[in-house]
Structure 1
Amino acid sequence: MNSNYPFPIGIQPLWHSPHELMIPDARLRNWLLDTGSLTERLHANCREFQVHVLGQRQAEISLEEMQQLEPSTARVNPANWQVREVILWGDGQPWVFARSIIPQALCSAELANLGNQALGKLIFNDPRFTRLPFEISHITEPAILRQALQLSSGRSLWGRRSVFKLNDLAMSVAEIFLPQSPAYADMQETQQ
């Protein structure tokens, strides 16, 4: 596992409602729109599961990310947010790149000692969190991710994101399925 990844990497794809994009494969569609814990599903598809934290700290977030979390806010204050980026590995392969935008208030309370734990493990075991509908993205030119994560495949990538709410706090979790992910297991190269 490489530990020389940059942080933050960031992701700036165009996000769409699931009915706005044609997902070319039933298995991929199932992975993208599954409302259960991605962490648990990945864990069930491998013998060895690891969370590699690229970093977590207060950092700039994009205006688009801010508007997803607080649509009425026009100004981004980095002190209010932490960015957490991780790679979820299965059997020695990088399967998912995840970027979370977490309110500082959650980092100081419920998520204070997250460390190398998967964020999903905590939110899906806490009934106070509610998930809003998914947005999905088809990244046809994943050059930034490919370069930052040192991926050899030129495959286009798919991702999803959603907002999790806890009372009046909103947290964004975006997950990009990397080329070795089981989400692509049955896809032909022509269906990228």
Structure 2
Amino acid sequence: MTTEFYPTPAFPVSEALQWSPPQQFELTAEQADWLLYEGSLTQRLKEVGGNFSVKLLGQQVLEPTPEEKQRLNLNCNVVVREVLLYCDKQPWVFARSLFSPSAEQASTLNLQQLGNQSLGESLFARSDLHCGDIEVAVVGGEHPVAQLNQRWFQKSHTLLGRRRMFSTAGEQLLVSEIFLEPSSLYSASETFRRNKRS
């Protein structure tokens, strides 16, 4: 079982983050290669290593953060879906997706039945998918996902995440992904700063 060494955290995990355009950060080539990747992250993880899998942490209607509510332009609760993406039996990415209850009910999107399947793989299979601009966030050590990373991998440092809006079938989905310790973003450098010109 993929959860044998990585106990499932209580849902929901994530908290608010400050998202900014990637130009405001000084990223290494490796970090930019992953954070600014335009294609399906699921497909890329499958290419990196075998035994790709998804662990559903939870999916239910909850109140989003004020910033998420503004970003989605919704004044109601939304469906929050949080998962871990595993590569070679280690969690590489924590992902948080938000969408309206109407999107969850839409039979064409099949969001209710996803379970331990990849949302990204489902989205990128759609011909009408529109991908928004990528945003980047630094995840400080006090953030629940960073604390989870420290507990699992005994590494205490800030993490990097990315986010973008997807539009399909008349619905919008806000998807954020935080890269965990096993990913290659942190192998060369653990330093990422805001660009002084921003």
Band of TM-score, shorter chain: 0.7 to 0.9
RMSD, aligned CA: 1.7
Shift >4 Å, 4+ stretches: none
Q: Residue 35 of structure 1: which of 14, 34, 38 is its match?
A: 38
Q: Residue 69 of structure 1: which of 69, 72, 75 is its match?
A: 72
CA contact (8 A) 2:93 2:177 kept: yes
Distance 2:177 2:142 in 1: 14
Q: Residue 21 of structure 1: which of 25, 39, 43 is its match?
A: 25
Aligned to 2:113: 113
User: Relative to 1, partners in 2 of residues 1:103 and 1:188: Cα closer, same or farther, differing over 3 Å?
Assistant: same
Query: How many positions carry a matched residue from both structures?
Result: 183
**Once the two structures are superposed, what CA deviation does each residue of 1:155-189 show, in whole Å capped at 9, x if it has no partner?**
2111000000125421100000011113334x134
**Once the two structures are superposed, what CA deviation does each residue of 1:123-146 show, in whole Å capped at 9, x if it has no partner?**
001021211101101223254213
**Structure 1 segments unaligned to the other structure (5+ residues):** none
Q: What TM-score do the two structures reach when normalised by structure 1?
A: 0.88
Distance 2:99 2:143 in 1: 26
Aligned to 1:156: 158
Q: What TM-score do the two structures reach when normalised by structure 2?
A: 0.85
Aligned to 2:189: 188
Q: Residue 47 of structure 1: which of 47, 50, 53 is its match?
A: 50
Aligned to 1:101: 98
Distance 2:45 2:184 in 1: 8
